[in-house]
Structure 1
Amino acid sequence: MSVLARNEIASAARIVVKVGSSSISGENAGQIAPLVDALATAHGRGAEIVLVSSGAIATGMPYLQLDERPTDLATQQAAASVGQNLLIFRYQDSLDRYDIVAGQVLLTAGDLENPSHRSNAHRAMDRLLGLRILPIVNENDTVATHEIRFGDNDRLAALVATLIKADLLVLLSDVDALYTRPPHLPGAEPISHVGAGDRLPGVEFGASRSGVGTGGAGTKVSAARIAADAGTAVLVTSTALVAEALRGDLVGTWFEPSAGAPTLRPGSPARQTTQPSGSPVA
């Protein structure tokens, strides 16, 4: 199969962009506008864009007078119920500047494990993109249980990218690239390129430092491998560099896609639930 090269990013036809809770909630809520600016620019040149956005729980927390992310499932679901509505409103309010309409898509891991549900999700997403709608995808926290969760939206983004056969997956975080060790430590070096099948030997895994999300650099590496192994190119960079990333500038960490990706059986990606124990802080 034909795969996207790094110097072809600006011509990618179908792109999935994932943004995390810490990048668009709380004091960083103002980053929604520049994120939308970058998405709208790519949309304007003809690309089909899907946004996978975390942040429902983090957005809902202040309205439930919660200072920290809740640990019990019921309160997480309540915060997500309040926050998801507000999050979509904020995105649509910003997209209105470009006359782009957002479509909300909420999924659980069970949806992508069930062949019928998976087929329905693929058909709906395809139709939304054909209508030039910008789908905004999140995990359906209100109904998801611990047994049917993706675990993090990096994984969800990778599965969505494989579902719709995206050319490119962009995983955004608070740091500009993956590093060989936590970037605040001496000797940390950015990783610019990861070849197909490269297991990143020597990379140190540390703990995620965000208090509002569930992902970290380790989950991004795991998600990037899922997508790259399925033939989708992956770029990991910061939310602040999303415009440069979609323009094709040499930013972030590039995961080279596999040219000989196997055909995925319905539901098979969602069963890849092994979670990394830490994260090479991205």
Structure 2
Amino acid sequence: MEREFIKDYQRIVIKIGTNSIMQSQKKVNYQKIDRLAYVCASLQQAGKEVIIVTSGAIGVGASTLAYDEYPNTIAEQQALAAFGQSILMGHYNRFFQHYNQHVGQILLTRDVIDFPESLLNVRTALETLLAKNIIPIINENDAVAVDELDHQTKFGDNDTLSAIVAKVVDAQLLIILSDVDGLYTDNPMRNPEAAMLDRVTEITDEIIYMASGKGSEFSKGGMLTKIKAAEKMLAAKKAMIVTSSEDPTSLFKILEGDAIGTLFKSED
């Protein structure tokens, strides 16, 4: 089995996007959250250390308030993020408690990572939660994050955030759960001959071209942001997998070494 080495990975970051959290713009995918909670609780029970990076605060907030479309102004988006984040964590807490697994919320802004003292505090907080067998659930602090010339506080997307978190906690593997199976040579919706890549060892111009394209209407990311995350993971000599979020229990097979999704890992 060519991915046998994955069995030895103990600390794993799992990122799940808005498309996976939401069934539609007005419906939360409770079954998906439940299955993710079941898988992560089981992995913790088996001795793994799991960190979750989640999107979905604005999506959950908009669905709760029955919005037909997302607001356009930053102030309204940030208010919706603040409202939706507490509801999102309520969903996670409820489903994880069903499997007797505690979770803890951490909201980050970019400047916290950029300063050594605050970075140390973030790392200490995460390590302490893991030591207490509490799964950290991380999101960008969208309610306050802004981008200014002299003070950048936004990560921009949670694919980037998840790669940064993996580096902060020295995780061996980042798994990005997405609405696609992996990286394809072309858009499989348009080209029936498009093939999914099993492994990528370096980020080339050709790989970036394959990943180019617009994300969905209610998420910030697309495949290109995942490639940028992979670039960070490869630079840190760590592994990353992009795979479908359709069935979170596939994570069990991935961590047993099954070739599911696209693996980003440099040559040994």
> Is structure 2 residue 181 aligned with structure 1 residue 176?
yes
Q: 2: CA distance between counterparts of 1:107 and 1:209?
A: 23
Match of 1:119 in 2: 120
Secondary structure of the residue aligned to 2:138 is: strand
Match of 2:226 in 1: 220
Secondary structure of the residue aligned to 1:190 is: coil
Secondary structure of the residue aligned to 2:104 is: strand
Matched AA of 1:169:
L
Q: 2: CA distance between counterparts of 1:238 and 1:193?
A: 15
Match of 2:69 in 1: 68
Q: 1: CA distance between counterparts of 2:63 and 2:155?
A: 25
Match of 1:199 in 2: 204
Q: 1: CA distance between counterparts of 2:125 and 2:211?
A: 37
Unpaired stretches in structure 2, ≥5 consecutive residues: none
1:98, distance to aligned residue in structure 2 (A): 1.7
1:68, distance to aligned residue in structure 2 (A): 2.1
Q: 1:98–1:63: structure 2 CA closer, same or farther, 3 Å change rule?
A: closer
User: How large is the RMSD of aligned CA atoms in angstroms?
Assistant: 1.8
Moved over 4 A (4+): none
Report if aligned partners of 2:166, 2:174 keep a CA contact under 8 Å in 1.
yes
Match of 1:249 in 2: 258
Q: 1:48–1:115: structure 2 CA closer, same or farther, 3 Å change rule?
A: same
Match of 1:229 in 2: 235
Q: 2:168 aligns with which of 159, 163, 176?
A: 163
Secondary structure of the residue aligned to 1:213 is: coil
Q: 2: CA distance between counterparts of 1:51 and 1:35?
A: 10
Match of 2:159 in 1: 154
1:29, distance to aligned residue in structure 2 (A): 3.7
> Is structure 2 residue 36 aligned with structure 1 residue 35?
yes
TM-score (norm 2): 0.89
Report if aligned partners of 1:73, 1:145 keep a CA contact under 8 Å in 2.
no
Q: 1:205–1:224: structure 2 CA closer, same or farther, 3 Å change rule?
A: closer
Deviations 1:194-218 (A, max 9, x none): 01x3416264344334121101100
Matched AA of 2:85:
Q
Deviations 1:13-61 (A, max 9, x none): 1000000011012353431111112212211110110000000011101
Report if aligned partners of 1:107, 1:139 keep a CA contact under 8 Å in 2.
yes
1:96, distance to aligned residue in structure 2 (A): 1.0
1:176, distance to aligned residue in structure 2 (A): 1.0
Deviations 1:82-137 (A, max 9, x none): 11111111111111122110000000011101111111000110111011100000
Match of 1:280 in 2: none
Q: 2: CA distance between counterparts of 1:209 and 1:158?
A: 18
TM-score (norm 1): 0.85
Deviations 1:143-190 (A, max 9, x none): 101332111000000000000000110011011111111121223110
Q: How many residues get paired? A: 254
Secondary structure of the residue aligned to 2:210 is: coil
Q: 2: CA distance between counterparts of 1:22 and 1:184?
A: 17
Unpaired stretches in structure 1, ≥5 consecutive residues: 260-282
Q: 1: CA distance between counterparts of 2:89 and 2:154?
A: 21
Report if aligned partners of 1:68, 1:212 keep a CA contact under 8 Å in 2.
no
Q: 1:242–1:62: structure 2 CA closer, same or farther, 3 Å change rule?
A: closer
Secondary structure of the residue aligned to 2:255 is: helix
Q: 1: CA distance between counterparts of 2:256 and 2:68?
A: 37
Q: 2: CA distance between counterparts of 1:248 and 1:207?
A: 30
Report if aligned partners of 2:21, 2:32 keep a CA contact under 8 Å in 1.
yes
Match of 1:44 in 2: 45
Q: 1: CA distance between counterparts of 2:184 and 2:267?
A: 22
Report if aligned partners of 1:168, 1:234 keep a CA contact under 8 Å in 2.
yes
Match of 2:133 in 1: 132
Report if aligned partners of 2:157, 2:221 keep a CA contact under 8 Å in 1.
yes
Report if aligned partners of 1:228, 1:258 keep a CA contact under 8 Å in 2.
no
1:248, distance to aligned residue in structure 2 (A): 2.8
